[in-house]
A = this chain, B = another copy of it.
Amino acid sequence: MRSESFSDSLREEAAPIWESIFIHPFLVEIGEGSLSLDKFVFYVKQDYAYLVEFARCLGIATAKTEDMDSMRTLASRLDASLTIEVDMLERLGERLGIPLEELRRSELAPTNMAYTRHMLHVAYSGPVGEIIAALLPCVWTYQEIAERLGDREQLKRHRLYNEWCSTYRTRSYAELTKWYRGLTDRLASGSDSLTRDRMRRHFILSSKYEHMFWDMAYKKETWPI
């Protein structure tokens, strides 16, 4: 019997939050191919803005990593974020009729601001283990979301949503998630209980923000003032 890894225990503690993500109307309606396109457009613009801030966190994580192998992989991930992933969103934006300049100037909605400031604060102030723990829910929930959505016949009939979803259903995306989990586990195993506790809290908070992010997009959230 394999003992539970640190990331397993994070996943377990976050389970109720993740369940509420999987059944959020935004994702349910994606799965049914019924999500109103304006909500998806809102989401893509916010995701684009989020990705840039996520990349900044990877830059700092690379700077703070001690072992050369992880440093290399993080630098390669950072490069991929700003090329492959940005390109993917820019192509998606183009198909949705979002002018490139508009996409690039997307302003953070309140939940996106809160989420990215949380990640960036951890990135600047904390050790690499805490940074990765704060980034992990984004990477990992997308894999599970895509897994759950992927088989739906209704989704397959919505070309755009289906393509978006399949981005996160590839073998390479699964490898990526696995790598992030492994890094989290390695970093946790070398850390004291106070650090592991902060890792856990960052993971839970980021999981909450993932849920709130889908909600933000569904409601096309604006600043209250």
Contacts and interface: CB of A to CB of B under 8 A. Distances in A.
Contacts of A120: 117, 121, 124-125
Nearest to A17: B225
A156 interface: no
Contacts of A192: 190-192, 195
A132 interface: no
The quantity of this chain's copies bound in the complex is 4
Interface stretch (A37-45, A59-67, A158-166): A59-67
A217 to B, nearest CB: 14
- Residue among A79, A120, A124 having the largest count of chain B Cβ atoms under 10 Å: A79
Interface of A: 17, 20, 52, 55-57, 59-64, 68, 71-72, 75-76, 78-79, 81-83, 86, 104, 110, 113-114, 117-118, 120-121, 123-127, 190-195, 205, 208, 211-212, 215, 223-225
